Amino acid sequence: MKHTSPMASRRRHILRLAAFAGLLFVVFYLVAVRQVIDVAALRHAISATGAVAPLAYVVASAGLGALFVPGPVLATGSGFLFGPVLGVAVTLGATVGTAVVASFIGRRAGRDSARALLGTHRAERLDALIDRGGLWAVVGQRFVPGISDALASYAFGAFGVPVWQMAIGSFIGSVPRAFVYTSLGASIAQRSASLAYAAIAVWCVTAVAGVFAARHGYRTWRAHAQEPRGAGPPDSDREAGPR
């Protein structure tokens, strides 16, 4: 029977995570930077499907979002096609779909390797943190500007955040931005200045809330990270003293 050394096992997990990260980087570069997917043509094709267009847009946008097509582009297209009310529902459905798909892939591709590299003790601590606040971590991430939702979903999945937390958290946290970008798209189609002003106002409030959420999340993370360092020896050991 062959026994794999701990160093070889660790190297294998590192290579697996590196390969997964490299694949995501290539997809991000091709889709978000080089723009190899013609979103406008796809949007036109979906608009021609008639009554099933909203459902088709949800499914297509969920997949495109997982491929790093920017969410604001998809949400604006939803508002342009379906208006501010139905468009928001379509945008939220696609957002939840992207979160579920990306986190599931991240979980399958990276969770075992991530836990192996963290070690049993740290992995158990991470599981406890996820049980206590995984849902609200997903909600908070959606308020922080400048972070790719798809990339965050892959990371959440790799660290073991359950799919149900991803679905509910992405729905709650994406409501403001879904309204903002969908309303902007609808304002272009309907030539409505009031919709545009409302979207800008909500965007400003969301951006400020995102800064505070990021600050609070960072301070909370630092507090948890410093707990083991500040913890002293057990009372029994202190009472016994040196021998």
Q: What is the pLDDT of residues 133-158, one digit of tens each?
A: 889 889 988 988 788 999 999 999 99
pLDDT at residue 228, rounded to an integer: 53
Looking at the structure of the chain, the number of domains it has is: 1
Convert the pLDDT of each residue in 91-125 to its tens digit. 999 999 999 999 999 999 999 999 888 888 888 88
Residue 234 lies in a domain: no
pLDDT at 219: 74
140, part of any domain: yes
Positions in the chain whose pLDDT score sits under 50 = 1, 229-243
Find the Cα–Cα–Cα–Cα dihedral 114, 119, 125, 128, rounded to 10°.
50
In a domain, 235, yes or no: no
**Closest by alpha carbon to 106, among 24, 217, 9?**
24
H helices present in the chain, as ranges: 6-28, 39-47, 53-66, 71-118, 120-143, 149-158, 163-190, 193-230, 235-240
User: Does some domain include residue 182?
Assistant: yes
Tallying the residues shown for the chain, one arrives at 243
The residue behind tokens 């969920």 is: 62
Whether 236 is covered by a domain: the verdict is: no
Does residue 83 sit within a domain? yes
- Please indicate, yes or no, if residue 233 is contained in any of the structural domains: no
Find the domain containing 78 and state its range. 7-228
- pLDDT for position 189: 87
**Both tokens assigned to 104:** 């599931």
Examine residue 242 and state whether it is found in any structural domain, yes or no.
Answer: no
Full-model pTM: 0.83
User: Hey, what amino acid is at 151?
Assistant: L
